[in-house]
A and B are shown apart, each in its own frame.
Chain A
Amino acid sequence: MSLLNCLGTATAALDAQRRGLEVTGRNMANLNTPGYARRSVSIVTGDAQGFTSARVFSTRDAVIDARYRRELQQSVKDGVVADELHAIEGRVQSSGTSIDTRLNAFFDAWSMLASQPSSTTARQGVVAEGRLLASAFVDTQSAFDDARQGIDLRIRTGIDTLNSLAAELALANESLLSRTGDLDDLADRQAQILDQMSRLADIRVVTQPDGSRDVTTASGVSLVGGGIASVIGVSSGSVDGLAQLSLNGVEITGELSGGQLGGWLMVRDTQLPGYLAQLDALASSVVTAVNAIHEAGTTMAGEAGQPFFTFLTGESSLAAAIQVNPDVTDNPSLVAASATGTVGDNGTAQGMAALRTSAPAGGGATLLESWAALVFAVGNDTRTAESRKDTRDTVMAQITRLRDEAVGVSLDDEAAALMRYQRAFDANAQYFAAVNETLMTLMALVGGR
C-alpha cells in the first residue's frame, strides 16, 4: 500500500469515526427538537484497501408514526370539543343571570301580584321581571352566538395555518425530490409538518417511493401532491356568515371530522345549533304559555289582556327576539291579573304563578324542566367529551412512549455510550506505552531503530 493510500485509509477512518461521534453529539443536541428522529451510524469496512465509510440514517417507524397521527387527530378533537363545551357550560350555569333564576323571579313577581291584585307596584314588578327574563334569553342566545363566532374565527385561523403547512410540506417534498439538503433532515421536517397538520385536521398521508409525502382529506381530496399544495378556500355562508371550506372546487366543510378543525366544526355546526334550537323552543314555550294565560285575563281597566311577550322582527332566532310587549312596558296597568274582570280577582296572576310547577298546555315538561333539560344536555355533552379526551390521552401517552422509544433520543443512553467509549479507550491506552517499549526492544534485537 502506498503512502498516499495509507493516508487515504486513515482519513476515511477518521471521517467515519468523526461522523459517529458527530451523530451522538447531534442526537444529544436535538434531544427536545420536535420531529427529530434519533440518528444511527452504520460503519462499513470498505474495499480491499481498507477504506471505511459511515452511513447516517434516522430511525423512523412508519407504522407507529401513522398510528400516532391517527390518535393525535382524535385526541386533539376531543380536547377541543371538551374545552369549548366547558366554556359554554359555564355560561348557561352562571348563577343569578341564568334563565332558571329569571324564570323563578318572574313567577315570584306573579305570586306577589296574586296576593295584591290591585297593586300598581306589583304590576311594575311583573313587567320588570318579564324584561329581565327576556334579557336572559337574549343574553344566553348571544352567548351561544358569540361562542359560534369565536369558533368560526378559530376555524379561519386554523385553515390559514393548514394552508401554510401544506405549502411547507410541498416545499420539503420538492427539496427531497431534487435531492437538495440533508435527506434525513428533510424527513424530520416532513414528519414535524405532518404532526402539525394532524393536530389541525384528519388528514391521510401517503408516502411515495421517492420519499415525498402526499396528503389528502379523509375523503380523498388532494391537499398536497409532491411539490404542489392546493389551497383550502374559505368563503362566508350567505345565511349566517360562517366560514365554508372548499378544496379543489369540492365542498369539504362537513368532511373535516378530526383534529382541532374537526372539533371546532362539530361544536359550531352540530352542538351549538342544537342548543340554540332548544333555547328557541323554550323561548317559544314561555311566550306561548304566558301569552295564552295573559290574553285570557282582564286588566285593571276591565279590558282583555294583550300578549305579555312579543317578538322583535329581524332577529335570527326567537330567543334573540323575545321582549315584553312595549305597550305593557310603557303602561304596567295593562298587566292582567284578574281572570273574571272582577275587582280583586287574581285568577290570571295565580295561573301565571302556577306555570312554575305545571306544564304549559300541550307540553309534558314545565318551563323550568325544559331549561334544565338544555343545561343537562350541555353538561352531559361536556362530560362525554371530557371522558373521551381522558381515554384518548391514555392511548396517546402509550403511543407517544412507543414512538419515543422508536425514534426519540435518550440523553442518558447517548451520554453513557460516549463515556463508555472514552473509558474503553483510556483502558487500551494504558497498554500503548508498554507496547511501544516492547516494540523498541524487539527492533533493537533485529538491528533496526
Chain B
Amino acid sequence: MSDVSAPDAVAELRLSLDAVAAALVAADADALHATQPRLSSALTALRRVRTVPAEQHDLVRAEVTRCRALLDRCRRLGAVASDLSSAALVAAGVSVEYGRVGGASATALRGTHLRKRS
C-alpha cells in the first residue's frame, strides 16, 4: 500500500465534509447523495496515510481539527434535519418507515434531537 500525502488527504476530506454540510444546509437530497462517493474516496485515501513528516505535523493537526469541527457540524445538521423531516412527514400523515412490502407503514414521531412539546 503506497503512502499518500497526509495534508492532501486531510484537505480532501475537509472539502468532502464541506460539500456534505452544504448539501445538508440546502436540504438538497441529490447533492447529498452526490457527496457520498467523494467522502468515501477521501476516507480511503486518509486510511492509506502511514507516516506524517515532522514538518507537516502542525499543518495536519490544524486540518484535522477543522475536519473534526466540520464532522460535528454535519452530524448536528443532519440529525436536526432528519428529525424535522420526520416531524413534517408524521404531521402530514406520511410514514417515514417502509412496510414489509416497501410501502409506507404506521409510525409515530421518534425525534432524538427534537422533542415534542407536551
Contact = CB atoms under 8 A, between A and B. Distances in A.
Secondary structure dominating the interface of B: helix
Contact of A428 (B73, B78, B96): B78
Interface size range of chain A in the complex: 35 or more
Contact of B73 (A10, A425, A445): A10
Interface string A405-449: 000000100110111111111111101101110110011011110
A422 B96 contact: yes
A95 B88 CA distance: 60
A52 B91 contact: no
Name which of A6, A10, A17 has the most chain B CB atoms within 10 A of its CB: A17
B71 A420 contact: no
Interface in B53-97: 56-58, 60-61, 64-65, 67-69, 71, 73-75, 77-78, 80-82, 84-89, 91-92, 94, 96
B74 A442 contact: no
A25 interface: yes
Interface string B24-35: 111111101101
A422 B22 contact: no
Given A43-B26, A428-B20, A422 B82 contact: yes
Interface residues of B, number: 56
A207 B61 CA distance: 60
A431 B40 CA distance: 7
Contacts of B57: 446-447
A427 B74 contact: no
A17 B82 contact: no
Given A25-B91, A415-B89, 14 more contacts: A17-B24, A17-B27, A41-B27, A43-B25, A417-B29, A418-B85, A424-B32, A425-B24, A425-B32, A431-B40, A435-B17, A435-B46, A438-B46, A442-B52
Interface of A: 6, 10, 13-14, 16-18, 20-22, 24-25, 28-29, 31, 41, 43, 45, 52, 411, 414-415, 417-429, 431-432, 434-436, 438-439, 442-443, 445-448
